[in-house]
Amino acid sequence: EPEVTQTPSHQVTQMGQEVILRCVPISNHLYFYWYRQILGQKVEFLVSFYNNEISEKSEIFDDQFSVERPDGSNFTLKIRSTKLEDSAMYFCASTRDSVGNEQFFGPGTRLTVL
């Protein structure tokens, strides 16, 4: 069964460093998302992406964040200058089209900012 994959599974970084989180969505999916979940908190939407551009973004997704689909298979989330409060689980998700309801989630990347 096709699945969303994410790398790395765990990333530890120093405050102020840049990190890139990688995702490979399901191959025939067209809509991509990043969510985050701070430990003990709810899953929160960051950004959605379609047709090589951002469709929607939340208040969390400020100028420190960017997304890219560099090569037709990977979908990346970059945090330019990490803060302690960026420590969270970051989930990538994808869905096939605007009719399909289910967003399929990847296993997540646990980001720890020291």
- Residues near another protein (CB under 8 A) are 31, 33, 35, 41-45, 48, 50, 55-56, 58, 89, 91, 95, 97-103, 105-108, 110
20 versus 89: smaller Cβ distance to another protein: 89
Per DSSP, 105 falls in state E
CA angle 62, 68, 73 (to 5 degrees): 145
Tell me how far, at minimum, the Cβ of 62 lies from another protein, in Å: 16
41 versus 81: smaller Cβ distance to another protein: 41
Tell me how far, at minimum, the Cβ of 86 lies from another protein, in Å: 18
Tell me how far, at minimum, the Cβ of 6 lies from another protein, in Å: 9
Give the CA distances from residue 113 to residues 33, 71, 81, 84, in Å, rounded to whole numbers and listed in that order: 22, 28, 10, 5
Q: Give the residue among 47, 29, 5 at the shortest CA–CA distance from 94.
A: 29
